[in-house]
Copies of this chain bind each other. A is one copy, B any other.
Amino acid sequence: MINKRVASVTEALQGVRDEMTFMLGGFGLCGIPENSIAELVRLGIRDITCISNNAGVDDFGLGLLLRKRQIRKMISSYVGENDEFERQMLSGELEVELTPQGTLAEKCRAAQAGIPAFFTPAGYGTEVAEGKETREFEGKMYVMEEAFRADFSIVKAWKGDEAGNLIFKGTARNFNPCMCGAAKITVAEVEELVPAGELDPNQIHIPGIFVQRIFRGDHYEKRIEQRTVRKR
C-alpha cells in the first residue's frame, strides 16, 4: 500500500503558488473542499485560475477567494448565486469562461483518463463553439473540446483511507470524482480517514492511484443554499 496520508491541510497544499490553475470539486456549496478553500484564503496566493462548476456564494465557498481578489479567472458553468462575482465579472476585474456543465465534467474526466479531446453536441451553434472545431457524426453536429490542464485538483470526499481510496456521499459526489487525477497533484480532504483495508474494495468510488495527498478536514460547516422542506 502506498500511503497518501498527510498530517494537515497545510501539508496537503504544499506547493500551491500564485498563477496556478486549480480544479475544485463541489456543486453549489455541496461537496466543496471547505478546509482547503480556507487554507487557500489563508495562504493569500493570487492570480489563480479556478475550474469549478460554481463560484460559491458571497461569504462562503469560492466566494471567500473572490472577495479577497485571489482569483483572476473562473471556468464554470453557473455563477448565478454570487453578487460579488457578478460585479467583478461585469466590471472586467474577473475573467470568466463559461462552459456547459456536461462539457466541464467531461473535460475533467478526459484529463483524468488521458483523452486529449472529444466531441460533444453541447454548445453547437452557440458562442461556446466559437473558434472550436465542429464536425458531423451520423447527421448530427458536434463540437471538439479539449481536456483541462491544471496544477492542483482539490476534492472533498466522505470517507477515505490511507491508500487514497475515496467514497463520496449523496450528491456531494458531483464533480469531485471526475477531478481526481485530472491535475498534476490531487488533494483529497475527507470527513473520515480510516486505515487501508477498512473500506470494501468493491465499493470505492475513486481508487487511490488518482490521489496524491489525503487528510481529514477539521471542520465542515456544510452550509445549505436552499433549505426546502415540507411539513410533517
Q: Are A137 and B146 in contact (CB under 8 A)?
A: yes
Residues of B within 8 A of A118 (CB): 110, 115, 117-119
Interface residue tally for chain A (C-beta within 8 Å): 24
Report the nearest B residue to A146, measured CB to CB: B137
Scan A99-127; emit 1 where CB is below 8 A from any B CB, else 0. Answer: 00000001000100111111111000000
Once the chains are docked, how many angstroms separate the CA of A142 from the CA of B113?
A: 14
* Residue pair B120, A119 in contact (C-beta under 8 Å): no
A131 sits at the interface (CB 8 A): no
CA distance A116 to B169 in the complex (A): 31
A170 touches B137 (CB 8 A): no
- Which of B119, B169, B203 makes the CB contact (< 8 A) with A117? B119
Shortest Cβ distance from A116 into chain B, in angstroms? 4
Query: Digit string of A194-211 for contact with B (CB within 8 Å is 1, else 0)?
Result: 000000011100000000
Which residues from 176 to 232 on chain A have a C-beta closer than 8 Å to any C-beta of chain B?
Answer: 201-203
Query: Least Cβ distance of A182 to chain B in Å?
Result: 15
B-side contacts of A110, CB under 8 Å: 118
A173 to B: closest C-beta gap in Å: 8
User: A149's closest neighbor in chain B, by CB?
Assistant: B138
| A115–B107 CA distance with the chains assembled, in angstroms | 12
Query: Across chains A and B, which 4 residue pairs bring their CB atoms closest together, nearest first?
Result: A116-B137, A118-B118, A117-B119, A115-B118
